Amino acid sequence: MSGLRIRDLRVSFDGFKAVDGVDLDVAPGDIRFLIGPNGAGKTTLVDAVTGLVKASGSVHFGDAELLGRPVHQIARMGVGRTFQTATVFEELTVLQNLDIAAGAGRSPWSLLRRRTSVPTVVSEALETINLTAQRDQLAGTLAHGQKQWLEIGMLLVQDVRLLLLDEPVAGMSHDERDATGALLGVVSRDRTVVVIEHDMDFMRSFARTVTVLHAGKVLSEGSVAQVQADPKVQEVYLGQ
């Protein structure tokens, strides 16, 4: 398993410093929550890690440097992300979505070299995301939470090792939130996970480290209780 090590990450848009010298370490198999007011640079940081925006500094996943590589290469190195609005093929079934994702970006030869067959990978993912009963249902007819889980499943079948999730429980019911918590617990057993999140109760249930970003910099880091008690954090949230 590999960890994430970010050093002096910087992203500018026309001179505006959206990410301004961020250091971040996530241990292999850990879950790190990323919080901060709107415009803090959370999405831009994830964009930089996944190759969507140009950045300086260094981003190591295990021994591999991700910065400077194109998006598809970073994806093939086992880095995957979700967006706030789940991007699934609504006109296709749950199973078809997973089948397509399992073959995405891979040559037939690499599919043949996989240790487990695509059907096995897909049925394992179906179980993990709790959608086995919905496998033949059109993705467009799934509940909001189920769509988010399907999107995560589409990354699992691509053998993602570093998972970056953008507000995975936003708009979810209490039960869906609990189920997502359980899913993250399972998924992080053999993956490193970074979650942009606002829901303090959800984060507290994990008792993991939270990194607070503000104006492109790390403002505070610690447990949910520690960052909530940090006067610097209180100030930026009250100032919103």
CA angle at residue 103 from 98 to 105, to 5 degrees? 125
Q: Which of 3, 28, 29, 39 binds ligand ADP (CB under 6 A)?
A: 39
Say whether residue 38 binds ligand ADP (CB under 6 A): yes
Nearer to ligand ADP, 157 or 194 (CB): 194
Q: Which is nearer to ligand ADP, 40 or 150 (CB)?
A: 40
Contact 98, 126 (CB under 8 A): yes
- 41 by DSSP, 3-state: which? coil
CB of 101 or CB of 219, closer to ligand ADP: 219
Q: How many residues bind ligand ADP (CB under 6 A)?
A: 11
Contact in structure between 74 and 119 (CB atoms under 8 Å): no
Q: Does 209 bind ligand ADP (CB under 6 A)?
A: no
User: Is residue 95 at the binding interface for ligand ADP, with CB under 6 A as the rule?
Assistant: no
State phi, psi for 172 to the nearest 5 degrees: -90, 155
32: contact with ligand ADP by CB under 6 A: no
Strand order in the sheet with 31-35: 79-81, 162-166, 192-196, 31-35, 210-214, 217-222
Binding site for ligand ADP (CB under 6 A): 13, 16, 18, 36, 38-44
